[in-house]
Amino acid sequence: MAMSAQDIERFIKEGIPDASVEIRDLAGDGNHYAANVISPTFKGMNRVQQHQLVYAALKGRMGGELHALALQTSTPQE
Amino acid sequence: MATTHEQIDNEVKTNDIVLFMKGTADMPMCGFSGRTVQILQHLGVPFKDVNVLADEALRNGIKEYTNWPTIPQLYIKGEFVGGSDIVMEMFQSGELKKLLDEKGVA
What are the tens digits of pLDDT across the range B63-102?
999 999 999 999 999 999 999 999 999 999 999 999 999 9
Cβ-based neighbours of A15, under 8 Å, separated by 6 or more: A53, A54, A56, A57, A58, A59
Looking at residue A30, what is its pLDDT?
A: 78
Per CB-CB distance under 8 Å, the chain A contacts of B63 are: 63
3-state SS, one letter per residue, for chain B? CCCHHHHHHHHHHHCCEEEEECECCCCECCHHHHHHHHHHHHHCCCCEEEEHHHCHHHHHHHHHHCCCCCCCEEEECCEEEECHHHHHHHHHHCHHHHHHHHCCCC
pLDDT in tens, B54-70: 999 999 999 999 999 99
Looking at residue A78, what is its pLDDT?
A: 57
Looking at residue A29, what is its pLDDT?
A: 80
> Residues B5-25: what's their mean pLDDT?
97
Query: Does the pLDDT of residue B3 top 90, yes or no?
Result: yes
Q: Which residue of chain B has the CA closest to A61?
A: B69
Q: ipTM of the assembly?
A: 0.85
Q: Which ranges of chain A have pLDDT less than 70?
A: 1, 78
- Paired with A62 in beta bridges are A66
Are A63 and B63 contacting, i.e. CB atoms less than 8 angstroms apart?
A: yes
Looking at residue A28, what is its pLDDT?
A: 81
- Interchain CB contact of A62 with B (< 8 Å): yes
A48 to B81: CB separation less than 8 angstroms, yes or no = yes
Per CB-CB distance under 8 Å, the chain A contacts of B71 are: 63
